[in-house]
Amino acid sequence: MKGVVLAGGTGSRLHPLTQITNKHLLPIFDRPMISYGIEALVKAGVTEIMLVTGGNHAGEFLRLLGNGEEFGIARLFYAYQAKPGGIAEALALAERFAVGDRTVVLLADNIFERSLQRCVDAFGKQAAGARVVLSRATNREHLQHLGVAQLNGSRRIERIVEKPKDPPSEFAVTGAYFYDETVWDVLPSLKPSGRGELEITDVNNWYVERGLMEYDVLDGFWGDAGESIEAYYAVNDFVRGHGVNRET
């Protein structure tokens, strides 16, 4: 299984901190944010990784990560997204790297308390399709700013709703996604959303509509450190007090 870490975007929600660097290079407790996502994949056994980034600070990732050996990566590749075009567009840049293999995609500002190992193992046993990682969120106002899974009585995902006014469940879709080889056929079929970007939710709903989407609910803390300044500091406080990517 190949890993794709997405670390692009303008980081506008973390201004003015991101006026001086890419948001994924900002510190979380005692190290750069990007290192937690890489650690999450490496600890789960995914050691062939492509990092996709963009903007004016892309070279700083190379200075930090080098060939990845220090971080436990067997093979590290880089791709550059010339302009912001959405998560799905960024993923498409990894096709030549990952084609012919299954792929786990991780948004580098997503921080998990628990290891992704269980999710990686489950996807390895899955016959085909895709898999998402859900996290339970009880604050409905917060859910209105997230992607939320609508589940049916058989515990299947019926659809994923982006930023719903009336959240259909308490299960938020985190920034960890698993795809089989079909994803490289799905991406070219996408149409830009109202904000002119190719949305990862459209990719996920393509699999949902065909009954090919599975999921895991990950216990413990999950935070999107790029969601807002408040969320950034909340993630920082949690990591400092509890640590992340833990097996138990």
pLDDT of amino acid 154 = 75
Report the predicted TM-score, pTM, of the whole model to 2 decimal places. Answer: 0.96
pLDDT tens figures, 114-171: 999 999 999 999 999 999 999 999 999 999 999 999 999 778 999 999 999 999 999 9
Nearest to 164 by CA among 127, 197, 137, 128: 137
Query: How do residues 189-201 score in pLDDT, each as one tens digit?
Result: 999 998 889 999 9
Burial 46-71 (b: 16+ CB within 10 A, else e): bbbbbbbbbbebbebbeeebeebeeb
List all residues 6 or more positions away from 195 whose beta carbon is below 8 Å from its beta carbon. Answer: none
pLDDT tens, 14-38? 999 999 999 999 999 999 999 999 9
**Concatenated DSSP letters for 34-89?**
HHHHHHHHHHTT--EEEEEEEGGGHHHHHHHHTTSGGGT-SEEEEEEESS---HHH
So what's the pLDDT on residue 36? Answer: 98
CA-nearest of 141, 204, 140, 209 to 176 is 204
Write the pLDDT tens digit of every residue in 169-227.
Answer: 999 999 999 999 999 999 999 999 988 899 999 999 999 999 999 999 999 999 999 99
| Domain residue ranges in the chain | 2-132+174-194+219-242
For 133-152, the DSSP string reads EEEE---HHHHTTSEEEEE-
CATH superfamily, domain at 2-132+174-194+219-242 = Spore Coat Polysaccharide Biosynthesis Protein SpsA; Chain A (3.90.550.10)
β 157-162/147-151 pair status: antiparallel
What are the distances in angstroms from CA 130 to CA 9, 37, 90, 161, 205? Answer: 24, 20, 18, 17, 10
Q: Which residues contact 7 (CB under 8 A, 6 or more apart)?
A: 22, 24, 34, 37, 51, 52, 53, 61, 108
CA 217, CA 157: separation in Å to the nearest integer?
A: 12
Residue of 28, 220, 192, 244 lying closest to 136 (CA atoms): 220
Under the banding of pLDDT at 50, 70 and 90, the label for residue 1 is very high
1, exposed or middle or buried, with CB in 10 Å at 0-12, 13-18, 19+?
middle
* Residue 112 pLDDT: 98
